[in-house]
Chain A
């Protein structure tokens, strides 16, 4: 039973990380501030915070999914339920680091809001409810989403470095050519997974 659950945990994490990557497969969690991180360390920090919030919240979200399943007006109750779980983890993280780890708090404070209230995070929860995941699959999927998001930000950072040395046309410099680049990466991943993407 434990082995089976661990298998479900790891497979759903790997699927979320590589094949159903939040950024490349569904364009979730994208915004200018995320795409233009100043250093790779900042990107990893942002992604790391998202991974922590997603994984910790998914423990509570699995319970919400179980309670809401089959309930009337489930589509109305889900989002407030997810928000409650995320806000609890966000508040706990904020207050704990502020009181007990002030050095860490100073580092994570600028990235905490954008990493927490992020479409990638809530999207992972919605997909887990859509696919009727159990507890281990929900937590694994959330962890994989966070790690995949972090890797994607890292890849995009180095893509920016690569594009900076090319004579890109003036109108395309910056975000436009980066979006075209991400489009081709997304195309490559689509060739692997095909039409099997839930929305």
Chain B
């Protein structure tokens, strides 16, 4: 395969990558506590999504500066301090938008300041990282988190409480246990497995598509591609 083709594929699928193939929650396993314990309603999910957009993008931009100016251990402290400041800003917005969100989210509202995705990724930035890719990368990671937390919250609120966004809906069977963290663990396990299954199919399809394009030059007929698990 030509390297130029690989680069074109990577650029095209960067956003899709953060949503699915390199999703920070489903693939990288970051920020699990918020999805497992706090994502029990769509309002909670929306509040956490707004928070993560503000906290993650702000901290990544600060991290781009601190990684060049400070020692690594000082940079982590500065990044977490910046994340805390962003969390306070986000808290004002979220509390104003959603009534009763502090009771609903509880301490998870404040623990967003030390979420693993922000702490790890802001302290792992290379010194020559450019601003625009850092910003778009942070946005796409935050979008990936928001997608996962939204899907999990939708499933849990509908089947646990029989409502969506506080509006009662008819449900075949209510399972209140889905709102408890242990069910969050199990649901996340199944969601991760489903994502892995989807990623394999997507990868196989894209490899097939790329192989077919290459084959046009070499006149080889390509039927299928099998992925090997190493």
Q: Which residues of A contact B (CB under 8 A)?
A: 25-33, 35, 75-76, 78-80, 83, 87, 90-91, 94, 112-114, 117-119, 122-123, 126-127, 130, 169-172, 175-180, 182-184, 186-187, 190, 197-199
Contacts and interface: CB of A to CB of B under 8 A. Distances in A.
A133 to B, nearest CB: 14
SS of B interface (majority)? helix
Given A78-B110, A83-B81, A126-B110, A176 B182 contact: no
Nearest to B112: A119
Contacts of A78: 110
B9 interface: no
Contact of B88 (A79, A171, A177): A79
B123 to A, nearest CB: 7
B185 A179 contact: yes
Nearest to A130: B107
Given A94-B73, A190-B180, A117 B107 contact: no
Q: Which of A118, A130, A186 has the most CB of B within 10 A?
A: A186
Most buried by A among B113, B116, B183: B116
B66 to A, nearest CB: 13
5 contacts: A35-B29, A119-B114, A171-B197, A180-B185, A183-B182
B107 A91 contact: no
Nearest to A189: B182
Given A79-B88, A87-B77, A183-B182, 7 more contacts: A31-B30, A75-B102, A76-B88, A117-B76, A183-B185, A186-B182, A190-B180
B111 A122 contact: yes
Contact of B33 (A30, A33, A171): A30
Interface string B97-117: 000001001111011011110
Interface residues of B, number: 49
A199 B38 contact: yes
Contacts, number: 139
A154 B36 CA distance: 21
B110 A32 contact: no
B28 interface: yes
B33, B36, B197: residue with the most chain A Cβ atoms closer than 10 Å = B33
A122 B189 contact: no
Given A183-B182, A190-B180, A91 B77 contact: yes
Residue picked from B30, B110, B185, B186, most chain A C-beta under 10 Å: B185
Given A119-B114, A179-B189, A29 B197 contact: no
A199 B193 contact: no
A32 B29 contact: yes
B48 to A, nearest CB: 13
Most buried by B among A80, A87, A199: A199
B207 interface: no
A117 B119 contact: yes
A92 to B, nearest CB: 12
A105 B186 CA distance: 38
Contact of A183 (B120, B189, B194, B229): B189
Contacts of B194: 171
B33 A113 contact: no
A168 to B, nearest CB: 10
Contacts of A75: 91, 102, 110
Nearest to A112: B73
